[in-house]
Chain A
Amino acid sequence: GAGVSQSPSNKVTEKGKDVELRCDPISGHTALYWYRQSLGQGLEFLIYFQGNSAPDKSGLPSDRFSAERTGGSVSTLTIQRTQQEDSAVYLCASSLAGIRGYEQYFGPGTRLTVT
């Protein structure tokens, strides 16, 4: 079946501009996660949505970052007034609920470059 999809695959933006990144999770997956990964670094957790519960925003690095998930499916991550340090690959993952619900499946990522 279809995996997690993300768009755009690449985004180049000027410092100070806003960007929106999109994630389409695997159909039926109730949990959705956003991470970012800088070159050669590990995964940095950003935000986690689980069903209708309030999202866990504990990883968002500043108030310039926000995310929403509409209808329990598609999610958008918005970065306002982008800075050069925001350049990274932004990865989305989704999982089912339940004991196997913690097996996360990743999308191909959006490579963001802020010039």
Chain B
Amino acid sequence: RKEVEQDPGPFNVPEGATVAFNCTYSNSASQSFFWYRQDCRKEPKLLMSVYSSGNEDGRFTAQLNRASQYISLLIRDSKLSDSATYLCAAHPGTASKLTFGTGTRLQVTL
């Protein structure tokens, strides 16, 4: 089983819709979680960090469910510019490395 798993998608949603992705992690010691956005042929860019139960930034909300070992990313009022691949990452909280999922592709259409 992969340490961090994501549904690869693609998720095709109309502009204005609300969409949510889940990301499951297998290491129960994971303390910190991150969502990155990656546009085609570009580097990943940090979107949100989650250190406790969740985080909200404008149209984006991340929720952490430690009991079920997943984090979610909710995007409200989707824009065409939200089309990208969204990478989830988990960190065990020790001097170690982030583990990334393979990403979920979102396509927002007119």
Contacts A33-B97, A99-B32, A102-B34; is A42 near B46 (CB within 8 Å)? no
Q: Are B95 and A99 touching (Cβ within 8 A)?
A: no
Q: What bracket does the count of chain B residues touching chain A fall in? A: 20 to 34
Q: What bracket does the count of chain A residues touching chain B fall in? A: 20 to 34
Q: Are A43 and B95 touching (Cβ within 8 A)?
A: no
Query: Within the assembled complex, what's the spacing in Å between the Cα atoms of A82 and B82?
Result: 37
Q: Please name all residues of chain A whose beta carbon is closer than 8 Å to the beta carbon of B101 when the two chains form the complex.
A: 42
Q: From A3, which residue of chain B is reached at the shortest CB distance?
A: B43
What's the nearest-Cβ distance from chain B to residue A88, in Å?
12
**Main DSSP-derived SS at the A contact region:** mixed
Which of A13-21, A66-74, A104-112 has 4 or more CB atoms under 8 Å from chain B?
A: A104-112
Which of A91, A102, A108, A109 contacts B32, CB < 8 Å? A102
Contacts A106-B44, A109-B43; is A99 near B98 (CB within 8 Å)? no
A 78-115 binary contact with B (CB < 8 Å = 1; else 0): 00000000000001000000011011111111000000
Q: Are B100 and A43 touching (Cβ within 8 A)?
A: yes
Query: Within the assembled complex, what's the spacing in Å between the Cα atoms of A43 and B32?
Result: 18
Query: Within the assembled complex, what's the spacing in Å between the Cα atoms of A109 and B38?
Result: 12
Q: Are A42 and B96 touching (Cβ within 8 A)?
A: no
Q: Are A103 and B49 touching (Cβ within 8 A)?
A: yes
Q: Are A106 and B45 touching (Cβ within 8 A)?
A: yes
What's the nearest-Cβ distance from chain A to residue B64, in Å?
15
29 pairs, CB–CB < 8 Å, chain A vs chain B: A33-B98, A41-B102, A42-B87, A42-B100, A42-B102, A43-B44, A43-B87, A43-B100, A45-B97, A45-B100, A48-B96, A48-B97, A50-B95, A53-B95, A56-B97, A91-B43, A99-B32, A99-B51, A102-B32, A102-B34, A102-B98, A103-B34, A103-B46, A104-B34, A104-B98, A106-B43, A106-B44, A106-B45, A108-B42
